Structure 1
Amino acid sequence: MPDRHPYLGEPGSIVALAHRGFSREGLENSMKAFQAAVDLGFRYVETDAHGTSDGIAIALHDSSLDRTTDRSGEVSALPAREVRGARIGGVEAVPLLEDVLGTWPELHVNIDVKAVSGIRPVAEAIERTASHDRVCVASFSARRRRDTVRLLSRPVAMSAGTTEAAGFFAVGGLGRGVGPALRHVDLLQIPTSMRRVPLLGARHVSAAHRVGRGVHVWTINDEASMHRLLDIGVDGIVTDRADLLREVLVARGTWR
């Protein structure tokens, strides 16, 4: 990548990402959860996005309303008005992605484009809020990410999709294959293991750093794992326990 994208922060800084905001009440991806993360001092949150039948980006993890709200139905088959009528945990409205981007103009937002329905709506929400410098577009599908980014007028940060991450690990995080595997992205956002098989070690982090790519790890909710990953040099941690991650970073003198 020619330049370091502003989303990544200063070199050497740790990106603390509140996963779907922060809620101990099951109110994930709600405005209340995002506000709770901001109140803790978080400058980064992670969210997910789908598109409604009328082309509006919704901040919601699942493709349907069934699990997290008091209503049911596929988001892509419903207009935004009906999706907005659902209540997360029975109490909180399902937010528009544009509201998440616009309510906190200094907040960095990691957006996982979950389905084809979200491609154009996510791009339009980023454009309308002019939030390019503080957004990372991610997706398990590299094609979805690329199709989203192509619609933007300015660059955003980009995270590797599943095939790109697999390509990185296929070369063992070593050798000449690392650069080509990650040539289209700014960072890897990955779990520490897959099907209980460990993936990430210090050599992988070092290899990513050698080609100028960051490494964020999800979803880390215990103190010991946070310390271990920070010790091997990861650049960011995604967590449901924003309160705990803050304590860990404060103790290490790396909280910003």
Structure 2
Amino acid sequence: MTQHPWFAGAATPRVLAHRGLVTAEDAAHGVVENSFAAVAAAHSAGADYVESDCHLTADGVVVLFHDEDLSRVTGDPRPVAAVRSHELEGLMSERGGLLTLEQALDAFPTVRFNLDVKAADAADAVGRLVAPHGHRVLVTSFSDERRRAALAAAAAAGRGVRPATSAGRGTIGRVLAGLAVRSRRSVRRALQDVDAVQVPERQGRLRIVTPRFVEAVHGSGAEVHVWTVNDPADMRRLVDAGVDGIVTDRADVALRALR
């Protein structure tokens, strides 16, 4: 598999700033994840990659926001989909600032974005917005259907390189099933349309990231990225085990530990 430009020329192991970077000092000043300030902090710290999440507002604006509703981040119980962008801008004004996807791509032209499509209604809009920036965007989702819908929308826009993509839960399930029966062909077939597999090290009692898992994913031409890892010793251990990327809340710590 030819390496997608999202991967090319960047330092390895890859450090993906999970929802940007919010230090304790920033948090004390009200800054929250996925805000303009959080992404700017990750960029300032030297992170090549920012992992973020996409929802669609009531007026059709794609915003960087993780949760389905606003309660945890702003104290407002409404769903993101029920709030207009100007209202959300007001709610985020003292929390680091709202960041729309369009603004993120324009304001941070050298950042490579890892975008998780959180809502089905956002998939088409995400695909259209990232189409001109496909060389520096990876599209993902827990739902393979959502990520494929976003990729299809980007392709339909017909501009530039297709975005990179990582596996959804269904695809990862097929990988694990293939490993269970020792079928490398099944693993390769499952991963034929993806560039990376982004997983937690464990899911409950199930250890996902094993030497066999890493070897099989690499053998299929994809990378392994592990989330969410904040302890430097764990970061180094995983990289020593062959993991290609670390998704972390503390990109500043990871960059010091791994470079």
> How far does residue 115 in structure 1 lie from its aligned partner after superposition?
0.8
Q: What amino acid is aligned across from residue 132 of structure 1 in structure 2?
A: G
Question: In percent, how many aligned pairs have the same letter?
Answer: 38
- Name whichever structure is richer in helix by fraction: 2
Which residue among 150, 153, 160 is the counterpart of 2:152? 150
Residue 195 of structure 1 and its aligned partner are, at CA, apart by: 1.1
Where in structure 2 are there 5+ consecutive unaligned residues? none
Cα distance per residue 1:146-205 (max 9 Å; x no partner): 011101124110000001011111122752211011112111000000013211112211
Match of 1:104 in 2: 108
Q: What is the distance in 2 between the residues matched to 1:216 and 1:55? A: 31
Indicate if the aligned counterparts of 1:12 and 1:235 stay in contact, CA closer than 8 A: no
Aligned residues of 1:192 and 1:198 also touching (Cα < 8 A):
yes
SS in structure 2 of the partner of residue 42 of structure 1: coil
The partner residue of 2:63 within 55, 58, 63 is 58
Cα distance in 1 between the residues matched to 2:80 and 2:171: 28
Q: Which of 47, 50, 54 matches 2:52? A: 47
Q: Distance in 2 between matches of 1:80 and 1:196?
A: 41
Find the partner of 1:178 among 183, 187, 191: 187
Contact map agreement 2:232 2:253 (CA 8 A) in 1: yes
Q: 1:87, 1:12 → 2: CA distance?
A: 32
Q: Could you say which residue in structure 2 is the equivalent of 1:131?
A: 133
1:114 paired to 2:118: yes
Give the corresponding residue for 2:78: 73
1:82 to 69, 87, 104: 87
TM-score normalised over the length of structure 2: 0.90
* Contact 1:71-1:87 at 8 Å conserved across structures: no
> Are residues 1:38 and 2:38 paired?
no
> 2:241 maps to what in 1?
232
Distance 1:97 1:12 in 2: 24
How far apart are residue 9 of structure 1 and its match? 2.3
CA distance in 2, matches of 1:57, 1:39: 24
> Using a 3 Å threshold, how does the CA distance of structure 1 residues 184 and 10 change in structure 2: closer, same or farther?
same
In structure 2, the residue corresponding to 1:237 is in which secondary structure? strand
1: distance between equivalents of 2:122 and 2:221?
29
Q: 2:197 aligns with which of 172, 184, 188?
A: 188
Q: Distance in 1 between matches of 2:151 and 2:60?
A: 17
Aligned positions, number: 246
Gaps of 5+ in 1: 251-256
For residues 86 and 124 of structure 1, the distance between their equivalents in structure 2, rounded to whole angstroms, comes to 26
Structure 1 residue 91: deviation in Å? 2.9
Does the 8 Å CA contact 2:55/2:81 hold for their aligned counterparts? yes
* In structure 1, distance between residues paired with 2:83 and 2:35: 19
Contact 2:16 2:50 in 1 (8 A): yes
Match in the other structure for 1:204: 213
Secondary structure, counterpart of 2:123 in structure 1: helix
- SS of structure 2 residue aligned to 1:45: strand
Q: Distance in 2 between matches of 1:87 and 1:176?
A: 48
Give yes or no for contact 2:54–2:65 (8 Å, CA) kept in 1.
Answer: yes
Tell me the amino acid that sits aligned with residue 22 of structure 2: S
1: CA distance, partners of 2:95 / 2:168: 34
Q: Which of 200, 210, 222 does residue 213 from structure 1 map onto?
A: 222
Letter paired with 2:8: G
The alpha carbon displacement at 1:12 in A equals 8.6
